[in-house]
Structure 1
Amino acid sequence: MDLSALVTEQRNENSMNLDRMSVRDILTTINSEDHKVAGAVKDVLPQVEVAVNQIVKAFQQGGRLFYVGAGTSGRLGVLDAAECVPTYRTPPDMIQAIIAGGPEAMTRAAEGIEDDEEQGAAELRQRGLSRSDVVVGIAASGRTPYPLGALKYARKVGAYTIALTCNRDSLMSRHADCSIEVVVGPEVVSGSTRMKAATSHKMILTMMSTAAMVKLGKTYENLMVDVQATNAKLVERAKRMVVSITGVPYSEAEEALAQAGYEVKTAIVMLEAGVPLEQAREALAESSGHVRVAIERAKSGL
């Protein structure tokens, strides 16, 4: 295994004297390198757009999205998948994250398991991967066996495959329909890809899931109207969203949300279109959950 050619393994000229720096200089150096991440992400937006369009298409056809990675890459996938459920009311199996070593690897490193290519494939096999699904293999190096095995298996099944890496012409990219190679350069601490590489991947995963949710009608304007109001903060946020969008008094927003079982979308359509609960729900169902379209349908009586 020759890692010397990988950008993520090379030494950073700007941090060669890291061990002799003051704390302020260490922080300044890290911050200076972090400024490069957004630019690198900007360079791959065309590829991210391709990925999002495929993910949306899969969701519209009943498919699922799988994130597969090891170590930090796997943890980032778990984070993004977990947050979509409360934020966008997605079914738990709609976006799934598979991390080498299983749930325990979220809090305790299980680095050796990342070398098992067959296990990456086996995890997808156990979940009944189909050609309707999308698989995103995540690895800064672009050569980690675990997600590589997952991508190889996904291609055999006919699922759409995306490789998210930080090195050009990576091995994983050669086994993917869409290759997102966000080259952020050498890390401040050589090979510590939990730094810039992980930051770039966090940004891209958040972009992909957010953009997909927007296109599925999970937002109205820039508000998360499909939020699950499962705690006091989210209940209050739901009320404020209804007030902001409809302009009704706070008490009226509370009443509409209570009638709608705290379905923010439904409450908005009820108030904006002046229709009862069931008609609002029907309009949303016929509009594939898009609030703006549902309001117009409800107003016109369609």
Structure 2
Amino acid sequence: MPFRSPRHRHRHRHRAGGPLDAIVGNRRGQLVLVLAIVLVAVLAAATIALVTRPERADRSSAGGTTPAPDSAPATDTGAAGRTGAPAAAALLDWADRELPPRTQLRAEGDVRDDLLAAGAPDDLVATDRPTGPDDLVLTVTDRSAEPGGRVIARFDGLALRDPAPGTPTVDQLDRRRSLAGAILANPTTRAPEQAAEVLRSADVDMRLLSLLAVLTARQGLGVAAFPRAEGAEGPARSVLLDAVGNAPVGAGEAATAELRTWLEAQLPPFAPDRVEVTDDGVLLSYHYASDPDALVAEASP
């Protein structure tokens, strides 16, 4: 069964065709609470853990004001050096927002036990589940594991990794650099140095980069930041916009509604998975994809 939290359901809506495919094509670019209480002596502690466990609310609402995914909560480690259920709960909460439905997490031993204790369904962390061509298979390891693959996020002693991430081709990297360069060269683009440096590196998910290029060409853009999860490697999948054209966007700003309407008209893979309106601007986020350059290439004319 695909990873789909009971409180996290994707909303499917009909999207009117937007201009993104055509413009990008011309530039050749595009995550049953299981808690085993075996001794009466630990019942009180287990009850506290259950009551205080963060509720994994649905965060896919376009009008939500959840924090930007730029950090993972710090958690305590056990006396033996293991990261306990708190870190696993933080990982599962993050995965519920940031990973696509068809995701499997592979973990073994103590790490798997911690995920189960934190509420992961058995089938989500099963090590013998068959996988399909569209499934995303990630690994969860503790600090003692050998490094490998791409780190997607860190949660104290736990690391969420993609063991076999896609590698962009030379042509795909050139397309990224071309789009990023065009965004920076546009006189209407406004970005602080940190955000501009991310664009100069072209280390941005091609789905997001394509969307920003079109927005820049249409009206101009204020790019405030590219938030990232703690310890994350790979291209940025989120951006905080503070203006479109000369109009500020964010909570209470008139131009926000128009921006959201335009975003809702976009088609996959360019449509953001989350659009969050905050006091600082509008946060656009995409679910993790192992090879976003290939997704865009498949959607290009």
Query: How would you bin the TM-score normalised by the shorter chain?
Result: under 0.3
Going by fraction, where is strand more abundant, 1 or 2? 2
Over alpha carbons, which structure has the higher Rg? Answer: 1
Going by fraction, where is helix more abundant, 1 or 2? 1
Question: What is the TM-score normalised by the length of structure 2?
Answer: 0.26
Query: RCO (CA 8 Å, sep 6+): is it higher in 1 or 2?
Result: 2
Question: What is the TM-score normalised by the length of structure 1?
Answer: 0.26
